[in-house]
Structures are given as structure tokens and as C-alpha cells.
Amino acid sequence: MQDTDAITIEEKSLSPYDLVKILYEDRGRIYDIEESVLSRNAFMVNRIMSIQYPDLADRLQRVRCGAKQMFFAWCALLESQGVRRTPDAVYTKGRKKLEQELKPERVQIPSEDMMPLSRFTGVEYKTILSALASETHRDLVLRAYDEMKEHEKRVAKPTAKLTAKEIKNI
């Protein structure tokens, strides 16, 4: 009896994405899941499946078939097509995740470089701080900072440290 209790607890915690994965990879298990779990997730599963199959999802929604029949229809379609792997389109990335990938975090300007940057650009310190806070002007300040660092590399050549023995030999 403990095994059936574990299965029902597991089934009750199934999310729509878990059910979609079961539809694609282990269709035989759908027939064993309780109808209450299927009906709770039916709308979202239909919505997720509409990414790949919009016509069938629309028809199933219009016909207003029961949750169990809807899952059986999806099983029949996927079985007839021989699909065994969940497509990548099901697990799409959200807007925030895409924005983070498109705009990688740039290194912020260290506080000790703010005054030299102000002198280099000829812009006041407070103006640079407000430009860094602004989305539209941040790239300009960071570009100026990169130019300042390149200028420092070209102009300020490191002096060689001489040892006492080398100084005596000169």
C-alpha cells in the first residue's frame, strides 16, 4: 500500500510541463494518472502543445472534450508521428532570461577610476554618475572608460624596476 500512496502523492504534484514530458516520452503512463490531475492541468497542457500543433489544440478547445479525452487525443497524435523526445520549443526562455543573454553584464567602473575618467573626458564627476544610472547613456560612459584605459596603455609605459646591482653597473 505504501507504493500506491507514493504514486498518488507524486501524481498530485505533477506540473503541466511534467505532463507534456510524459506525453512525449512515456505515453503509457498517461492512462494511469488520475483524472483530477489531468483536468487540473488540461488547459495549460493544451496551451503548451499549441506551440507545435496550433490547429489540433484549437480544435480540442472548441470541441470542449474532457481532460482525459484531450490527453488521449494528444497521445494518439504523437504516437502516430512516432515522436519520442520533447521538442525544444516547449521549453522556451522567458523575456528576462533572453534579455540577460542578449545584454551580457559589462564591468562597472571602479570608484578610483572615476576622477581620472572625469579629467580624461572633460565631464564633471556627477554628470558621469548620472549617465551611468541612465540606460541610454551608460554605453557612452563605458566606451569612454575603455578609450581611457587604451590611452593609458599606449602612453604610460611601465618603467622597469632596476636592482641595486644593475644601477652600480651603469
**Cα angle, residue 75 at apex, residues 10 and 90 outer, rounded to 5°:** 70
Q: How far apart are CA 19 and CA 23, in angstroms?
A: 6
Tens of pLDDT along the chain (170 residues)? 445 544 554 666 788 888 888 888 888 888 888 888 888 998 899 888 888 888 988 998 888 888 899 999 999 998 888 888 887 777 766 666 666 666 655 557 888 888 999 998 898 988 888 888 887 888 888 889 999 998 888 876 555 566 677 667 76
- pTM listed for this prediction: 0.49
Query: Is the CB of residue 113 less than 8 Å from the CB of residue 125?
Result: no
> Three-state DSSP class for 94?
coil
Query: Is the CB of residue 67 less than 8 Å from the CB of residue 30?
Result: no
Burial class from Cβ neighbours inside 10 Å (0-12, 13-18, 19+) for residue 145 reads: buried
Q: In Å, what is the CA distance from 101 to each residue of 60, 95, 106, 130, 143?
A: 36, 10, 12, 25, 20
Chain centroid offset of residue 166 CA:
58
Beta carbons within 10 angstroms of residue 116's beta carbon? 13
Cell of 81: 508521428
Beta carbons within 10 angstroms of residue 30's beta carbon? 16
What's the confidence (pLDDT) of residue 167? 66
